[in-house]
């Protein structure tokens, strides 16, 4: 009986997501054509924005991806009928309620000189060829200023997060670190937004919605951990970085349960996991790369002055990462219940080194992948 009810919930949620595509988006894909070595895509109204990235394959080909924001793909429309000598395949799909994704597969090195103006997106199909229209392109925007980072300070307002002896409160520590990360990234030339800049409660789904609206290239959520009990406080320590995927270890499951608790009050275990599994996005590979870079530079910076424990990069089902349409990670900066880490997390020097590591990791990931 429980399985039947659960299946009904999943079906209902799927229908809501499906029909929201048709009801709320209004910029419809009309047609595509190939002329003079360019793929031209036509829409019913002006294009809000286009984000470009690549996914390398083991066989030497690359998938060139173009996310078109504010667009809808009508039933029966496609671009797979197109052919061109340098291209293996063309694909188009409704990737989310507010985004159409175009994927071009080719053995070329780069197809990043696209441009869009008004209701037309033009994608050259040969390396280093500029689009024939004058518009917004990857090529004519300065490298760093085109990148947007959203920093999420966990918890806030009525939600204190983890608390411990000596009045250590997670929401205050992570906000202080998040502000330091913002300053360091802005000094590097990035555009940075914060989901909260004060002691304010923000619902978990609203945090990634905010990042999606800002068309962020990277989303990083900052948290602090706590031991299951004070009796075991000394046993739990270390910096952990998580990306969204089903949790593999009991420790990862516990961490996710703690951070998700404000979202899933009064919901049973199976309902929680059904919703999380249904809403997960496909950014696992890119998020893993981001997590590795962030972890590497946090550890590198802190080891200069402190003896720390590196707990590595892990997977877990954190609701705050669900729905993010960009590479995203959650950083647990340490255990506030641990006698050493808790004390360090209260100091400005330790927080500054943490922030520097997070910012440098984001910078390295973007430089390597955009």
Same domain, 168 and 268: yes
Distance from C-alpha of 82 to C-alpha of 36, rounded to nearest angstrom: 13
Q: What is the pLDDT of residues 209-262, one digit of tens each?
A: 899 888 899 999 999 999 988 888 889 999 999 998 754 555 545 555 555 555
Q: Across all residues in the chain, what is the average pLDDT?
A: 82
Q: Has residue 276 got a pLDDT over 60?
A: no
Q: Helix (H, G, I), strand (E, B), or coil: what is residue 104?
A: strand
The confidence band for 70, taking pLDDT boundaries of 50, 70 and 90, is confident
What CATH number did the domain enclosing 93 receive? 2.60.40.3500
Is 5 domain-assigned?
no
- Quote the pLDDT of residue 260: 52
Give 78's strand partners.
Answer: none
What is the span of the domain harbouring residue 263?
148-369
* pLDDT at residue 162 in the model: 87
Tokens linked to 142: 């300065």
With respect to residue 20, please indicate whether it lies within any of the assigned structural domains: no
164 vs 308: which has the higher pLDDT: 308
- 323 has pLDDT over 80: no
Q: Are residues 98 and 173 in the same domain?
A: no
Q: Looking at the domain assignment, is residue 11 inside a domain?
A: no
Q: How many domains does the chain have?
A: 2
Report the Cα–Cα distance between both ends of the chain, in Å, rounded.
Answer: 49
- Looking at the domain assignment, is residue 72 inside a domain? yes
In a domain, 64, yes or no: yes
Distance CA 253, CA 236 (A): 15
Q: Are residues 227 and 358 in the same domain?
A: yes
Provide mean pLDDT across the span 364-370.
91
Q: Which residue has the higher pLDDT, 309 or 271?
A: 309
3 state SS of 204 = helix
CA separation for the pair 1, 6 (Å, rounded):
9
User: Do residues 157 and 193 share a domain?
Assistant: yes
CATH number at residue 216: 3.40.630.40
Residues 113 and 160 in one domain: no
The confidence score (pLDDT) of residue 6 equals: 46
Cα separation of 196 and 206, whole Å? 11
Q: What is the pLDDT of residue 261?
A: 53
Kindly state whether residues 312 and 354 are assigned to the same domain: yes
- Give the Cα separation of 235 and 263 in Å (integer): 28
Do 105 and 152 have their domain in common?
A: no
Whether residue 60 is predicted with pLDDT greater than 60 in this model: the reply is yes
Say if CB 317 and CB 284 are below 8 A apart: no
Q: What is the pLDDT of residue 223?
A: 97
- Mean pLDDT of the 141-161 span: 82
Q: Which of 108, 124, 140 is the last residue of a domain?
A: 124
User: Does any domain span residue 16?
Assistant: no
Q: Between 28 and 283, where is the model more confident? A: 28
* Helix (H), strand (E), coil (C) string for 143-154: CCCCCEEEEEEC
Q: Identify whether 232 is part of a domain.
A: yes
Q: What is residue 1's predicted lDDT score, i.e. its pLDDT?
A: 54
pLDDT (tens digit, 9 = 90+) per residue, 189-205?
898 999 998 999 999 88
Do 202 and 334 fall within a single domain?
yes
d(C-alpha 6, C-alpha 275), whole Å: 10
- Going by pLDDT thresholds of 50, 70 and 90, the confidence category of residue 109 is confident
pLDDT, one tens digit per residue, over 2-48 is: 545 445 444 444 443 443 333 333 689 999 999 999 999 999 988 87
Cα 93 versus chain centre, distance: 20
- Both 285 and 152 in one domain: the answer is yes
Q: Are residues 218 and 302 in the same domain?
A: yes
Cα torsion through 99, 104, 107, 109, rounded to 10: -50
pLDDT value of position 257: 55
Looking at the predicted structure, is the pLDDT value of residue 83 above 50?
yes
pLDDT grade for 310, boundaries at 50, 70 and 90: very high
Please indicate, yes or no, if residue 18 is contained in any of the structural domains: no
- For residue 352, what pLDDT is reported? 92
Structure letter (DSSP) for residue 137: -
297 pLDDT higher than 70: yes
1 vs 336 pLDDT, higher one: 336
CA 53-55-60 angle, 5° bins = 130
Radius of gyration of the chain (CA): 22
What's the confidence (pLDDT) of residue 279? 44
Share of the chain above pLDDT 70, in %: 79
Q: Torsion angle of alpha carbons 130, 132, 133, 134, nearest 10°?
A: 40
Regarding whether 115 and 168 lie in a shared domain, the answer is no
pLDDT of amino acid 164: 84
Residues 90 and 355: their CA atoms lie apart, in Å, by 41
**Domain shared by 275 and 330, yes or no:** yes
């Amino acid at each position: 009986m429980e399985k039947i009810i659960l299946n009904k919930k999943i079906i209902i949620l799927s229908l809501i997501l499906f029909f929201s595509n048709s009801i709320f988006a209004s910029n419809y894909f009309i047609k595509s054509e190939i002329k003079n070595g360019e793929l031209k895509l036509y829409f019913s109204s002006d294009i809000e924005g286009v984000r470009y990235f690549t996914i390398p394959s083991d066989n030497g080909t690359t998938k060139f991806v173009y996310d078109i924001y504010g667009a809808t793909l009508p039933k029966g429309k496609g671009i797979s009928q197109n052919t061109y000598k340098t291209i293996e395949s063309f694909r188009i799909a409704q990737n989310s309620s507010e985004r159409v994704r175009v994927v071009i597969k080719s053995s070329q090195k780069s197809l990043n000189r696209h441009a869009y103006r008004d209701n037309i997106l033009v994608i050259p199909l040969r390396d280093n060829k500029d689009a024939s229209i004058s518009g917004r392109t990857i090529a004519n925007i300065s490298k760093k200023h085109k990148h947007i980072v959203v920093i999420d300070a966990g918890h806030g307002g009525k939600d204190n997060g983890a608390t411990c002896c000596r009045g250590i409160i997670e929401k205050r520590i992570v906000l202080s670190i998040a502000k330091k990360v913002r300053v360091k990234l802005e000094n590097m030339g990035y555009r940075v937004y914060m989901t909260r800049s004060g002691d304010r409660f923000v619902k978990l789904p609203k945090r990634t919605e905010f990042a999606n609206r800002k068309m962020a290239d990277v989303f990083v959520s900052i948290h602090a951990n706590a031991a299951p009990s004070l009796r075991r406080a000394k046993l739990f320590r270390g910096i952990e970085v998580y990306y969204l995927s089903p949790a593999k270890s009991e420790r990862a499951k516990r961490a996710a349960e703690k951070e998700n608790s404000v979202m899933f009050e009064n919901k049973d275990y199976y309902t929680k996991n059904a919703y999380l599994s249904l809403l997960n996005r496909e950014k696992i590979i890119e998020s893993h790369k981001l997590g590795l870079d962030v972890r590497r530079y946090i550890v590198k910076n802190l080891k200069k002055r402190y003896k720390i424990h590196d707990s590595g990069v892990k997977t877990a089902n954190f609701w705050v990462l669900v729905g993010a349409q960009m590479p995203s990670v959650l950083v647990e900066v340490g255990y506030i219940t641990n006698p050493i880490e808790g004390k360090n997390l209260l100091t400005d020097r330790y927080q500054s080194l943490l922030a520097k590591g997070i910012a440098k990791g984001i910078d390295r990931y973007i430089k390597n992948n955009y």
